[in-house]
Amino acid sequence: MKSTSSDIDISQVSDEQLPVAKHKLKGWKHFMGLYAGEHVAATEFVFGATFVALGATMTDILLGLLIGNLLAVLSWTLITTPIAVDTRLSLYSYLQKIAGDSMTKLYNWANVIIFTVISAAMITVSATAVRFALNIPAQLNWYPTNLAFVAVVLAVGVIVVFVAMYGFNAVSNFSRICAPWLFTMFICGPLILMPALAESVIGQTFLTSWNDFIHIGSTSVWTGFTQSGEPGIGLLEVIGFSWAANTITHFGLIDMALLRFAKRKRYGLCTSAGMLFGHYIAWISAGIMGAGTAVIVQKSIGELDPGDVAFHALGLSGLVIVIVAGWTTANANLYRAGLAAQAIFKDKSRTTTTAVVGMVTVAIACFPFVFTKLLPLLTYAGLLVVPVGAIVFAEHMIFPRIGFTRYWAHYQSLTHSTPAVASWGLGLVFGFGLNVLDVMSFYYLFIPTWFFTIAVYTALAAKYGAKQAYPEQEA
């Protein structure tokens, strides 16, 4: 389908939909703080406990998380950041030049929903800390059962919405301020609870060697067995889990929205602040804190929520951690949701779309189910957007190298790109089909799905005109 509309008046286009101006580019410190703050979320308490419940061994945790998170950093550095710096556009805007209007709107709607729910989950987790401090009953149903809890969610959510409304600078500065304190507290928590763990395992409250630490961790935290006594996940699953946890933002290219502000492509390495601190140290720390709290309160780690763990480890400061960590993550995700919404409603400012999406987010956050279902949401959301990331990667990185024309659909004035839509659909069928057939671990499905989509899109694009030259349009 070809468009008959005239050229867009650039004066009517929002700044957020244009390439980032040179004077707005940020240095590496901004991205170190941004990623450290975003990826030290209140949900790290949940993921830390998840590895305990899944029955990983301590060796698998120490080695597997390191390898998986390094692979994630490389994914951001080699895949996401080069495209973001080349274009200076968010994926929500860049996709328009590649896939046309129809697919872009569909994809952006999917992103609005995904990041709205993720932000809502972070707000809900933060609210559990306030709930704990105010003695509000735990919310065990999918719906709220206490008006005070709803009031807490509204109060916590308002902060998130206002920060996200002020844009990238506010989001990055908020994270940069909070990150050092969050790091310190996540380190202190295990040190405080280690004596209780040590006494329960070796009969004394202090450690005399590294071997003591390994023994305590292997005996009381990461035992290699699930709570039902069955053998747990292995090294490959731990690597895959930690690598796939953020496929939505690196292989899926969503973080073009953030990394388009980077002065240099190597700033993709700044994501290591989030991965090695948030998804390595914080996950390990959360596992130790969860096990220590379980010993103190005589409950299984699966019965504890983030507020329980944080309070027993760090007192009221721990509750503040849960609140702030939830804020820093929710801020960035709500900013992404606002950008995606603005790409749909181009006549509205990003501030307006973020405010509207924020109100919906806070309403959803009142329902505790978004917190309990976060892990499967992240996993399936990653597989949903990876094919789109593959399409953009193929067009931007591969097509110029094989003699194809980048932006061929744009040069044809297409509002609907059949190759893009078909490749996305076939990629989803392929990825979820592998999952149904149980061909491989779910955590690694994004890899064959990504390569499959690249191959399909390249073949279809060649048939529909990507192999042709467009000298007049490129001039």
Q: pLDDT tens digits, residue range 6-41? A: 344 555 556 667 788 888 899 998 898 888 877 776
Q: Which candidate, 36, 47, 55, 38, places its Cα nearest to that of 309?
A: 47
DSSP E strands in 3-70: the ranges are none
Most confident of 127-131, 202-206, 238-242, 450-454: 450-454
Q: Is 262 helix (H, G, I), strand (E, B) or coil?
A: strand
Q: Would you say 253 and 389 are in contact if contact means Cβ atoms under 8 Å apart?
A: yes
Tokens of 249: 């933002």
Q: 298-320 pLDDT, tens per residue?
A: 877 766 777 778 888 888 888 88
pLDDT of residue 6: 38
Closest CA to 220 of 193, 192, 200: 200
- pLDDT grade for 334, boundaries at 50, 70 and 90: confident
- What does the pLDDT average to over 428-441? 92
Residue 372: pLDDT band with limits 50, 70, 90: low
Would the pLDDT of 250 be above 60?
Answer: yes
> Tell me: the pLDDT tens digits for 173-226?
776 777 778 788 888 888 888 888 888 888 888 888 899 999 988 888 888 888
Work out the pLDDT band at 405, boundaries 50, 70, 90.
very high
Say how far residue 98 (Cα) sits from the centre of its chain: 24
Indicate whether 4 pLDDT > 50.
no
Question: Tell me: the pLDDT tens digits for 406-421?
Answer: 999 888 888 889 999 9
Average per-residue pLDDT in the chain? 85
Q: What integer pLDDT is reported at residue 237 of this predicted model?
A: 92
pLDDT at 12: 55
Which of 57-61, 277-281, 450-454 shows the lowest per-residue confidence on average (mean pLDDT)? 277-281
Domain boundaries, the chain: 21-372, 374-475
Banded model confidence at residue 142, pLDDT cuts 50, 70, 90: confident
| 341 within 8 A of 357, measured Cβ to Cβ | yes
- Which band of pLDDT confidence, cut at 50, 70 and 90, is reported for residue 375? low
Tell which wins on pLDDT, 288 or 71: 71
Specify the fold of 21-372: Hydantoin permease (1.10.4160)
- Whether the CB-CB separation of 274 and 94 falls below 8 Å is answered with no
- Token couple for 227: 């709570």
- For residue 276, pLDDT beyond 70: yes
**5 CB-contact burial (10 Å; exposed 0-12 / middle 13-18 / buried 19+):** exposed
Distance CA 417, CA 347 (A): 23
- Residue 2, pLDDT > 70, answer no
